[in-house]
Amino acid sequence: MAAGPAGGSRAAGARDGRRAGGRRALRLGGTVCAVAVTAALGCAVAPGLVARAGAEAPLDDAVTSAPFLAWAVSSVRADSGATGFVSASVARAELELTVRAPDGQDQLWSVRPQSLPRLVSGSPPRTGETAGEFSQADAEQLSRAWTRYAGSMTACGEEFTRVEAAAGAGGAARITAHCTRGDWTGTPTVGIVQDWIGTRVVQVHTELGTAAALGSVLGDLDRLAPAEGAAVVRLTNRQDCAAEALWPAEDADGAPGGGRPWIDQTRLCSGGGPSEGKLPLTVVDEPSAPDGVGDAGAGDAAHRVDPGGLDAGLLARLLAVPELPTASPTAEALSIGWSDAHGQVVIVADSRIGQDAGARRLTITYALDGTELARG
């Protein structure tokens, strides 16, 4: 279907109706009524719908209900011929929906209460953006996220509540609810965000030193990473507590690597800005990992890492490096990825020992079963 809006055809239909003797037919909820221009005749109109040039829009005064969201997405899909859902931004009075058009371009649509979808703009897809499906369950979750945040954050209010959603490479949407009300500097007055991966609430952790915390964040990464897995998984357990899954972006032919940038899907512990929440996705030139992790072979599908298949208990034990001082009893980071030198996926524990000029780094490489392979 063509990418442009259908406003011209609707206007033409309206002109034709006026020329046809001042009477025209409007289809409302499947009921056709003859309406005189000069008089309002009795007519059975389906409740909750408003007609506009042969099309129908719900009479909701907000866009945040699950039925309205499902209707809006269905209408945009029909108007655009979209092949996938990219992202959505839900405020009380407007839904902004980005979809992947048949020509490969991304289209931004706006839907307001009691109005039909309007095409705003088109642009090439941005690196890292995925096009996925949008189901009734997704509509219900977006509505639920908006309602729960607006109801719990009374200092924000419905007018300033916004929910952002984006399709994930693993099939589950990344969803963040936040407040757009700011002070005179633009700083949000309510800095609390709530996050979901699909219907699953993102748990808050202050550190990754336990098997339970590691299992939680690795499970989240598993739902966000591509089906073939990540090329590198990185777990940081010092000041910036975070888990990351990295994989090479695909080129135009769908083949990974070839000097292409990498996608970095992060799962933060307790931080996250209001616009990103705890699930920021960025594009980087190359993975941030110690030498020997994420080597040239990491991009191959056969060398990928399954975040959900990693042993969280083993990783928790490897974080506790005996040589570290008791004041900092855990390694700074664990990096898991393919090593050309060892011909296998390895785990590297990277730590800093000492202070200032006397500090040194300790790097220990393990096999996936915990066998030590090297240190330096």
In a domain, 6, yes or no: no
pLDDT digits (tens, 9 = 90+) for 308-345: 999 999 999 888 776 655 555 567 889 999 888 898 99
Same domain for 288 and 215, yes or no, is yes
Strand partners, 365: 348, 374
Same domain for 27 and 91, yes or no, is no
Same domain for 268 and 368, yes or no, is yes
DSSP 8-state symbol, 145? H
Same domain for 121 and 186, yes or no, is yes
In a domain, 7, yes or no: no
Domain count, the chain: 3
Same domain for 234 and 367, yes or no, is yes
In a domain, 13, yes or no: no
- In the chain, count H helices and then E strands: 5, 20
Same domain for 139 and 249, yes or no, is no
Same domain for 215 and 344, yes or no, is yes
Per-chain mean pLDDT for the chain: 78
Same domain for 43 and 90, yes or no, is no
Same domain for 162 and 105, yes or no, is yes
Amino acid (one-letter) located at 275: S
Strand partners, 26: 33
HSE value, Cβ hemisphere, 13 Å, CA-based, for 228: 12
pLDDT digits (tens, 9 = 90+) for 243-297: 999 988 875 444 444 557 889 999 998 877 666 689 999 988 877 666 667 665 6
Strand 360-367 versus strand 344-353 pairing type:
antiparallel
In a domain, 120, yes or no: yes
Tens-level pLDDT at each residue, the chain (376 residues): 333 444 444 344 443 443 333 322 222 233 333 333 333 333 333 334 444 445 677 788 889 999 999 999 999 999 999 999 999 999 999 999 999 999 999 999 999 999 999 999 999 998 888 999 888 889 999 999 999 999 998 888 899 999 999 999 998 999 999 998 877 677 777 778 899 999 999 998 888 889 999 999 999 999 999 998 999 999 988 777 899 999 888 754 444 445 578 899 999 988 776 666 899 999 888 776 666 676 656 567 778 999 999 999 999 988 877 665 555 556 788 999 988 889 899 999 887 765 666 666 778 899 999 999 998 7
Q: Domain range spanning residue 341?
A: 211-375
Residue in the block written with tokens 């000029």: 357
Same domain for 174 and 306, yes or no, is no
Same domain for 225 and 285, yes or no, is yes
* Residues 6 or more apart in contact with residue 349 via CB below 8 angstroms: 318, 319, 321, 331, 333, 334, 362, 363, 364, 366
3-state secondary structure of 307: helix
